[in-house]
Amino acid sequence: MSLQDFLSSLDSLVADASRAFEACSDADTLEEARVQYLGQKSGALRDIQKQMGGIDPADRKTAGMQLNQSKTAIQDAFNEAKSRLGQNEDGGIDSTFDPSLPGHHPVLGHVHPITQTIEHLMEIMGRMGFEAAEGPEVEDPWHNFVALNIPEDHPARDPLDNFYLATAGKGSVPGEEGSQLLRSQTSTVQIRVMEDKQPPIRVISLGRVYRPDAPDATHFPMFHQMEGLLVDRNVTMANLKTVLRVFAENYLGTDVEIRFRPSFFPFTEPSVEVDFYWNGNWVEFGGAGMVDPNVFEAVGYDPDEYSGFAFGLGVERLCMRRHGITDIRDLYSGDLRFLKQF
C-alpha cells in the first residue's frame, strides 16, 4: 500500500468515526461505535494499522506519526461524545443526575406519643423537685407485693391477674418467694428507692406495667404508670392534693379541678381515687394516699418519725385525654397514619 493511500484511509476513518460518535444518542450505541472504530481485536483503526507492514520502510515513520495523530483524534471524538452523553471518564453516571438538586426527603421517624407524654410529665414533676427513679420490669413478689403490705392471700397476687414467669425449680410456684413476675404496678419502685436511701425522698417513676387484661378501647395488657413518692417529716394529705392539683393544672389546663374519693390500697392509709374534672366530666386518673406504716417498716424507716404520700396515675389515660385519643389500642397498633399525627 502506498503512503498516500494509507494517509487518505486514515483521514476518512477519522471523519467516519467522528461522525459515528456524534450520531450516538445513548451509551449502548456509543459503545457499539467504540468497538467498531477503536476495538482492540477488529476495530477499523486496528485494521488500518495492520497495513503498516506493506508500506515502504522509508515512509513508515510518517505513516506511524499520522497513525498516532488519527488515533488521538478518534479517541478525542469518542471522549467528547461520552461526556455529551453524561458519562464521566469512569463511565456510568447518568446525564440526568444533578448532584445539586435537593433529592428525596428520607422519612424520619419521631418520638412515640407515650414517650412524648412521659417526657412532658417528667418535666412538670421535675419543676416541683421530683427526680426520676427506675426499677426493673421483671420483679419479685417482695417488691411487687410483700413490702407493699399485700399479703399472701390477697386477690391482687392471683396468677390470673399477673404475668408470672415460668422459672424452674424451687420457688416456681406463682406468687411465692423466689418466683418472678412482670410488675403489675410501678409502686415496686417506691420500695426500691426507700431500700436504697434515707428520707427526704421526692421521686417519680415512669414505666411499663403488665396485667393480663383482654385488650379493648380502655385496656391493654401493657401500659404505663407515673408513680410518685414523697417522704419527709410531717407530710400531709393536703401536700398530696396540692402536688396533684399543680400537676393537673400544668398538664391538662388551668381550668382543671381535682377530687379525692375514699378508696383502699394495702400500701397507703388513708387511700383515695384521684379524679380530675376535665371537659365537663370527672375522670379517674389513678390512686393515691399516705404511705402505710407497714410499708415504712418493711424498708426499715421509722413510721413515727417519717410520713409520706404516694400516687400512681395512668400515663395512657393522661395522654389520651389530652390528645382526644379514644382507643388505647391505637397507641400500640404501630399504624403510622395514627402515629404521624403526634
Contact residues: ligand PHE, CB under 6 A: 185, 187, 265, 268, 271, 286-289, 310-312
Select the residue whose beta carbon is closest to ligand PHE and give its number. Answer: 312
Closer to ligand PHE by CB, 6 or 265: give it.
265
Least distance from ligand PHE to the Cβ atom of residue 106, Å? 41
Least distance from ligand PHE to the Cβ atom of residue 188, Å? 9
**What is the per-residue burial (b if ≥16 Cβ within 10 Å, else e) of 29-50?**
ebeebbeebbeeeebbbeebbe
Dig out the grid coordinates for 112 from the structure: 412515640
Closer to ligand PHE by CB, 44 or 114: give it.
114
Least distance from ligand PHE to the Cβ atom of residue 227, Å? 6
Least distance from ligand PHE to the Cβ atom of residue 101, Å? 55
Closer to ligand PHE by CB, 77 or 193: give it.
193
Closer to ligand PHE by CB, 18 or 187: give it.
187
Q: Cβ-count burial of 146 within 10 angstroms (0-12 exposed, 13-18 middle, 19+ buried)?
A: middle
Least distance from ligand PHE to the Cβ atom of residue 325, Å? 21
Dihedral angle of Cα 84, 90, 91, 96, to the nearest 10 degrees: -60
Closer to ligand PHE by CB, 82 or 192: give it.
192
> What type of residue sits at position 86?
G
CA dihedral (130, 136, 141, 142) positive or negative: negative
Closer to ligand PHE by CB, 180 or 185: give it.
185
119, HSE (Cβ side, Cα atoms, 13 Å): 6
Least distance from ligand PHE to the Cβ atom of residue 162, Å? 12
CB 288 within 8 A of CB 272: yes
Least distance from ligand PHE to the Cβ atom of residue 312, Å? 3
- How far apart (Å, rounded) are the C-alpha atoms in residues 296 and 149? 10
236, HSE (Cβ side, Cα atoms, 13 Å): 3
Closer to ligand PHE by CB, 6 or 311: give it.
311
Reduced to 3 DSSP states, what percent helix, strand and coil does the chain have, rounded to the nearest 5?
Answer: 45, 20, 35
